[in-house]
Amino acid sequence: MIEKKRIAILGSTGSIGTQTMDVLDSIEAKPVALTTNRNIKLLEQQARQWQPECVTAFDETAAKDLKIMLGDTDIRVLGGMDGLMEAASLPTAEVTVTAVVGMAGLLPTMAAIEAGHDIALANKETLVCAGSLVTAAARQKGVRLLPVDSEHSAIFQCVQAAQGNRIAKIILTASGGPFFGKTAAELENVTVEQALKHPNWSMGAKITIDSATMFNKGLELIEAMWLYDMPPEDIEIVIHRQSIIHSLIEFVDGAVLAQLDLPDMRLPIQYALTYPVRLPCKMERLDLAKIGHLSFYPPDEQAFPALRIARQAAARKGNAGAVMNGANEAAVALFLERKISFLDIPRLVGQAMDSLPYQQIFSIDDVLASDCAARQAVYTQI
């Protein structure tokens, strides 16, 4: 039996957050901090059930309401970015799950690292924007960045078998999303509803749109580059429609290792929290005969320019990741508000990348400035 782990869960009301809550019993963990943006109804329920030390609503008005709702308890109620950072770095926590969506996760992730917590990292945007700073801070503090993203968890699990041997190549699998096989012309008029229908995974809206544009795989390419210190040209992307093989690594002798299971985030979440121990997991077991066949295709960079844009950002490093990510977050939000078309997303991100100056980044402030400039570049185009 492993020791009871004390966990801070940032974004506990979201898709990854609620699935993290779902594995707490089986791994005998206790949440000491829970956070939301605005979903205080669910956060109140979670808080009453789990009795954490503190809860945070990023939205200050929601935080005020939550304080009243939890007035009969001892739970501290915090608000805003300061509250999120305090929840992330609570001295009693050993590990912080970063399941907030977007750049909003950067400062709390850095705060958790500073506090010496291991990071169960779902928030990929953090590494895309500030990979050099986040990995350096983690190294300096001696904390682990444990991947939650299913592809990066698969790589992490395969790496256990490397025994010090160099990994020659990472092969990231991609489902291809709802628009696999469509041409650029056919993508012209796709709707928000169509883009939100992912064939294999049920996730938050932002990552679901990223999966449809393939920016998700682009973000994951950069995430893998930082997590595994791999040059981007040694990271290959292959479309695998069934999402059963979650990713693969290739050794110098050509041997390829893969990790397989059904598309269910509870396994990678649980493994990040119990590593290096494995415990039984609630999810359904893989039955290969039932699945029948697994299929693979090369990605189509003509119809999905996000992959090409992400490769550019990965090769440039510096502020390129922050610019790409900031522009993408702004464009995805505009698409969800039905103010731009689906194909405007990669077009606007590409334009932001082309128009903003390349800069090195030395601090989180540099990252925030590039993020802000990228969002501005998108807004001025519409």
39 scored as a contact of ligand NDP (CB under 6 A): yes
The order of strands in the sheet holding 54-57 is: 76-79, 54-57, 29-36, 5-10, 95-98, 118-121, 145-147
Cα 73 from chain centroid? 32
Instruction: Say if CB 221 and CB 235 are below 8 A apart.
Output: yes
265 scored as a contact of ligand NDP (CB under 6 A): yes
Pick between residue 53 and residue 210 the one whose CB is nearest to Mg ion.
210
Residues 138-167 vs ligand NDP: string with x where CB under 6 A?
A: -----------x------------------
Would you call 297 helix, strand, or coil by DSSP? strand
Give the other-Cβ count within 10 Å of 346's Cβ: 25
Site for ligand NDP in 59-98 (CB under 6 A): 84
Q: How far is the CB of 123 from ligand NDP (least distance, A)?
A: 4
Pick one of 80, 178, 199, 204: the residue that binds ligand NDP (CB under 6 A). Answer: 204
- Identify which range of 15-23, 231-239, 305-313, 333-341 contacts ligand NDP by CB under 6 A: 15-23
CA distances from 273 to 4, 127, 339 (A): 11, 19, 40
Pick between residue 201 and residue 251 the one whose CB is nearest to ligand NDP.
201
13 scored as a contact of ligand NDP (CB under 6 A): yes
Q: Is the dihedral of CA 247, 227, 125, 371 positive or negative?
A: negative
125: partner contacted, choices ligand NDP, Mg ion, none (Cβ within 5-8 A by kind): ligand NDP
Q: Which amino acid is at 292?
A: G
222: partner contacted, choices Mg ion, ligand NDP, none (Cβ within 5-8 A by kind): none
Pick between residue 177 and residue 326 the one whose CB is nearest to Mg ion.
177
Give the HSE-up count for residue 376: Cα atoms under 13 Å, Cβ half-sphere. 8
Please work out, in degrees rounded to the nearest 5, the angle formed at the alpha carbon of residue 97 by the alpha carbons of 172 and 212. Answer: 40
Using CB under 6 A as the binding criterion, the count of chain residues that bind ligand NDP stands at 26
Q: How far is the CB of 171 from ligand NDP (least distance, A)?
A: 18
Instruction: Say if CB 2 and CB 27 are below 8 A apart.
Output: yes
Instruction: Say if CB 153 and CB 246 are below 8 A apart.
Output: yes
223: partner contacted, choices ligand NDP, Mg ion, none (Cβ within 5-8 A by kind): none
Pick one of 41, 201, 234, 308: the residue that binds ligand NDP (CB under 6 A). Answer: 201
Instruction: Say if CB 187 and CB 212 are below 8 A apart.
Output: no
Distance CA 242, CA 118 (A): 32
Distance CA 142, CA 281 (A): 29
Please work out, in degrees rounded to the nearest 5, the angle formed at the alpha carbon of residue 250 by the alpha carbons of 248 and 255. Answer: 110
Pick between residue 319 and residue 328 the one whose CB is nearest to ligand NDP.
328
Pick one of 20, 36, 153, 270: the residue that binds ligand NDP (CB under 6 A). Answer: 36
46 scored as a contact of ligand NDP (CB under 6 A): no
Task: Compute the radius of gyration of the chain from its Cα atoms.
Answer: 20
Q: Quick check: bond before 108 cis, omega within 30? A: no
Q: 256 pairs with which residues across the strands?
A: 250
Pick between residue 263 and residue 350 the one whose CB is nearest to ligand NDP.
263
Instruction: Say if CB 84 and CB 107 are below 8 A apart.
Output: yes
Pick one of 5, 6, 7, 15: the residue that binds ligand NDP (CB under 6 A). Answer: 15
38: partner contacted, choices Mg ion, ligand NDP, none (Cβ within 5-8 A by kind): ligand NDP
The residue nearest ligand NDP at its CB is 14
- Identify which range of 117-125, 166-174, 186-194, 335-343 contacts ligand NDP by CB under 6 A: 117-125
123: partner contacted, choices Mg ion, ligand NDP, none (Cβ within 5-8 A by kind): ligand NDP
Give contact residues for ligand NDP (rule: CB under 6 A).
11, 13-17, 36-39, 58, 84, 99-101, 104, 122-125, 149, 201, 203-204, 207, 265
